[in-house]
Amino acid sequence: MFRFQTHNLLFQIDPTYSIPSSFKHEGWTSTVKGYLYESDKLARIILRNMTYMDHPYTWSVTIKIHKVLTANDIRAMWSKVCRKLRTNGFIGLWVIEPHHDNTVHFHMMVSSHASKQKQLARLIDSCMPPRSVLPYHKQVAPIKSIYHWSRYMTKAKTRGRFRGREVPDAYQKKRLLFVPKTGIQKSREVGPFWRKPKHVLWREIVEIEKRIAAGLQDNRVHDLANHVHDLLGQTVSLKDIQRSFGFSSEKPSVREWIASLAVDAQNILNTKTLC
């Protein structure tokens, strides 16, 4: 059990989950609901950004600071590190989060063409303060799943496993909100990470969701999704299939498939009637 004076804590011990519905739930520190909105939004923008890249994101990086720092010290230290990384051609996105021991760590999504894992590790060490001044450890690894890393680094609400069992929010216990008005920026890019402005990427995502929702208003689209789900032996998520057909519902090929299913269903009904 870590014990600190509450007025020195970087994170909120008991953050407000939400406030009346007239309030727009945004912001990383306002409410838990606001954090969930911002983290999901950022994770989805990260994935959307990759659709405009000529290569996938390359490396994941975690830097864990082992010394308790003030908010001012964190900002000053990390600003220098990012400036050095940028000068050396590093391109990536970072997210900072507090830990229960009142330290912080940084997660990164790297998009620059770092040729080798060890080269990137050496670059980070050269940009960080000496460990004699600021003790830390880091981890540099290939990204196994860009989806899961983007959700993990932002602590977006994601179904997964916690202590051996399936849970709807795998990162709930790790998700801490910074105290408001520390001046610590939650996330920022280093170098030309974004291929389009974030607000443009988000607008594209919103338009895609509207198109999917409109397509799924047609019950025949759901019938087609169920049919394909069965054809694939239920090895692919039904939700993913529904979203795919919802997005493509106006395509001629999908409309023809829907019509074909309707004809097949009518033929089966006619056959049963004759019997």
Q: What is the pLDDT of residue 6?
A: 55
Cβ proximity of 113 and 91 under 8 Å: no
Q: What is the pLDDT of residue 236?
A: 84
For residue 140, what are the β-bridge partners?
61
Q: What is the pLDDT of residue 245?
A: 86
Domain covering 6-195 assigned CATH 3.30.70.1910 in the classification: yes
Write down how long the chain is: 275
In the chain (275 residues long), the average pLDDT of successive 10-residue segments reads: 64 92 80 96 98 94 97 97 96 97 97 81 96 97 95 96 88 95 96 97 96 91 86 87 89 86 60 54
Q: What is the pLDDT of residue 1?
A: 45
Distance CA 178, CA 105 (A): 12
Domain boundaries, the chain: 6-195, 216-274
Q: What is the pLDDT of residue 162?
A: 81
Q: How far is the CA of 125 from the CAs of 61, 91, 189, 192, in angstroms?
A: 12, 16, 19, 22
Tell how far CA 92 is from the center of its chain: 14
Supply the pTM of this predicted model: 0.87
Tell how far CA 272 is from the center of its chain: 50
**Identity at 138, one-letter amino acid code:** K
